[in-house]
Amino acid sequence: MSTIILNGSPKGNNGNSEIFINQFLKGMKIPCDVKYIVKENPKTLAEYVKDFDTIIFVLPLYIHSMPGVTMRFIECLEPAEPSENKSIGFIVQGGFPEASQYKYAERYFSSLSKELNRAYLGTVIKGGSANVSTMSSFMTKKLFKSLERLGEIYEQTHTFDKSIIEDLKNPREFTGFSLKIMKFITKTGLINQMWDKPLKQNGVFDKNLDKPFLGKN
């Protein structure tokens, strides 16, 4: 069974999706190939991947959805023949911690699988990953082990392990005490600082509430 992993981040091999891919591949005895959507012509890549038994997308969530480069590529994909028994899976990571914000993307991926006549392996969701490249090994240990195990089980069974998917989805939604803590942290301005810093560094902080598409058709 042939598998191709597609990195759907506009940052290509310099982003966090790459870290997720490397951990997944670590679990495989014979690591599969990886292609970077951002570096390829979408039509050529769609033609290239169509013969693979399984396509695994590893991508970030940008504005609650997939990055534009990934969307443009997906639009070039053609459905497989139903008799070919091909499959597709998704590993999505993002900055916001709650898995609930991924539900629309997850629903889309599930119906995309049907449109492409590929069996749906599932969508692995991991929030709170924006700083995964700078986190200490203590903080990433559990996540990396889970991704490695996911890769290992995938190689053996050609499925995504359901218990790992469920575990990585935590926290699904902040409620009760955890919600109170998040509200408190938000009030301190610490969260905004993380978003504001790069805007200030790039001299565009005063434009942070701009709505460039408002009023345009």
Q: Which residues bind ligand FMN (CB under 6 A)?
A: 9, 11, 15-17, 60-64, 93-96, 127, 129-130
In whole angstroms, the minimum distance from the beta carbon of 143 to ligand FMN comes to 12
Nearer to ligand FMN, 9 or 54 (CB): 9
Nearer to ligand FMN, 11 or 50 (CB): 11
Strand 3-7: give its sheet, edge to edge.
33-36, 3-7, 54-60, 86-93, 118-126
In whole angstroms, the minimum distance from the beta carbon of 190 to ligand FMN comes to 17
32, amino acid identity: C
Residue 7 to residues 34, 55, 116, 212: CA-CA distances in angstroms? 7, 11, 19, 29
Sign (positive or negative) of CA dihedral 113, 114, 118, 123: positive
Tokens of 87: 């499959």
Nearer to ligand FMN, 129 or 146 (CB): 129
101, amino acid identity: Q
Tokens of 182: 């998040």
Nearer to ligand FMN, 3 or 93 (CB): 93
Asked if residue 113 lies in contact with residue 119, where contact means CB atoms within 8 angstroms, the answer is yes
In whole angstroms, the minimum distance from the beta carbon of 36 to ligand FMN comes to 11
Length in residues, the chain: 217
Nearer to ligand FMN, 48 or 104 (CB): 104
Separation CA 150–CA 159 (nearest Å): 9
Separation CA 169–CA 23 (nearest Å): 17
Nearer to ligand FMN, 15 or 122 (CB): 15
Helix (H, G, I), strand (E, B) or coil at 10: coil
In whole angstroms, the minimum distance from the beta carbon of 68 to ligand FMN comes to 10
In whole angstroms, the minimum distance from the beta carbon of 34 to ligand FMN comes to 13
In whole angstroms, the minimum distance from the beta carbon of 125 to ligand FMN comes to 10
Separation CA 134–CA 207 (nearest Å): 28
